[in-house]
Amino acid sequence: MNWIILIIAGLFEVGFATSLEKARQTHGIESWLWWSGFLVSIFFSMTLLYKASETLPIGTAYAIWTGIGAVGTVLIGMIFFKEPTDFWRLFFIATLISSIVGLKIVSHE
């Protein structure tokens, strides 16, 4: 169950990174709404990371949390913010995903 909580925490990390970018791109009330989304996302992300680390080793939990956030944020950037998509970016995203899966495989709950 804590692995699911950790994955959700990582998805909220993607949410707060995406909210930061959208807040930067907008002005006025729309920017404030994105800042609100950032605060909500960071609250849930940190709370869920804390909950998952109650039974998972903190080093493993943190590495997986940041990995999910990094991969998700890069993919969001490529899909929605027109960031470059080239072989090396995709290659290193694949290595990050492999590392996340590897940590899950070798971790004992």
For the chain, the three-class secondary structure string (H helix, E strand, C coil) is CHHHHHHHHHHHHHHHHHHHHHHHHCCHHHHHHHHHHHHHHHHHHHHHHHHHCCCCCHHHHHHHHHHHHHHHHHHHHHHHCCCCCCHHHHHHHHHHHHHHHHHHHHCCC
What's residue 109's pLDDT?
61
Q: Which two tokens stand for residue 34?
A: 């994105």
Per-10-residue mean pLDDT, the chain, length 109: 95 97 96 98 98 94 95 96 94 95 84
What pTM was estimated for this model as a whole? 0.89
